[in-house]
């Protein structure tokens, strides 16, 4: 195997590991949804976010080095460009898990609300999307990436439903401060999950670009 290919393989492996870490953070945040009084989830996510940030810097540095040293073309060039973009998406997924933690804590401390039942399904869906996305990356499977993206619509529907429910019903008629806090926290959590779904889609788009060379961003399905 040529040196560039070896180094690209190592880079790909590092991104896959970063993906594993981001996925572990998402799983932790979802568990925290069900165990909001357990601080250890938040602490672990904080610590992992630092690791994720460092991985982002390391991977970007390595991608820049490979571009500089080898001046790659074709599939190799696409791979490095994709890696650099995927890297940013994974880092933002980490940020969303931190945001989720902050809003879980807000909900626990400032309200008596309990999570709407729709969160369970939404969390399961987002988690599966991210898992499939990372699998598609490892396998360089653009078909899997495309089929994974299709799930994002369901996530959006659940997000809309959660927001509609929180803004409707009794709450619109003179809700108390604690109810407002609970609703705001839940809307923010739902938004974070929805964003993680979007970011998984962005990663999928980059997998398609990496494998097929087709730029499918901003192409909304009919």
Partner 1 sequence: MTVATDSSTRTHYSIQTRDLNLWYGKFQALKNVTVDIRPRLITSLIGPSGCGKTTLLRCFNRINERYGNVTTTGEVTILGRNVYDEDISLSELRKSVGMVFQRPNPLPISIYKNVLFGIRTHTRRGAFPRHQRDEMVESALRDVQLWDEVKDRLRRRATHLTLEQQQKLCIARLLPLKPRVILMDEPCSALDAEGTERVEALIGDLKRQYTIVIVTHNMAQARRVSDECIFMLLGEIIEHDDTVQLFLNPHKEQTEMYIEGRYG
Residues that bind partner 1 (CB under 8 A): 2-3, 64-65, 68-71
194 contacts 159 by C-beta, under 8 angstroms: yes
- Least gap, CB of 89 to partner 1 (angstroms): 24
Closest CB to partner 1 among residues 69, 150 = 69
Length of the chain equals: 222
Minimum CB–partner distance for residue 63 and partner 1 (Å): 12
Using alpha carbons, select from 21, 60, 15, 66 the residue that is nearest to residue 44.
Answer: 21
Nearest distance in Å: CB 61, partner 1:
9
Q: What residues contact 111, with CB distance under 8 A and at least 6 apart?
A: 178, 179, 181, 182, 185
CB of 2 to partner 1, least distance (A): 7
d(CA 205, CA 146): 8
* 71 or 117: CB nearest partner 1: 71
Would you say 3 or 218 has its CB closer to partner 1?
A: 3
The Cα 132–Cα 141 span in angstroms is: 10
Nearer to partner 1 by Cβ, of 3 and 177: the residue is 3
């Amino acid at each position: 195997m040529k040196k560039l290919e070896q180094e690209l393989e190592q880079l790909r492996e590092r991104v896959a590991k970063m993906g594993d870490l981001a996925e572990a953070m998402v799983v932790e945040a979802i568990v925290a949804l069900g165990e909001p009084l357990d601080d250890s989830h938040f602490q672990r996510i904080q610590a992992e976010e630092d690791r994720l940030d460092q991985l982002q810097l390391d991977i970007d540095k390595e991608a820049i080095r490979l571009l500089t040293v080898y001046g790659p073309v074709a599939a190799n060039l696409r791979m490095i460009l994709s890696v650099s973009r995927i890297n940013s998406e994974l880092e933002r997924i980490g940020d969303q898990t931190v945001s989720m933690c902050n809003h879980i804590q807000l909900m626990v401390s400032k309200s008596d609300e309990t999570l709407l039942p729709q969160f369970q399904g939404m969390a399961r869906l987002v988690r599966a999307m991210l898992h499939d996305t990372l699998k598609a990356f490892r396998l360089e499977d653009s078909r899997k990436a495309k089929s994974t993206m299709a799930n994002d619509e369901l996530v959006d529907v659940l997000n809309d439903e959660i927001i509609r429910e929180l803004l409707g019903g009794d709450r619109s008629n003179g809700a108390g401060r604690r109810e407002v806090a609970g609703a705001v926290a839940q809307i923010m959590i739902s938004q974070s999950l929805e964003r993680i779904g979007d970011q998984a889609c962005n990663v999928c788009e980059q997998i398609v670009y990496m494998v097929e060379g087709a730029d499918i961003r901003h192409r909304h399905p009919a």
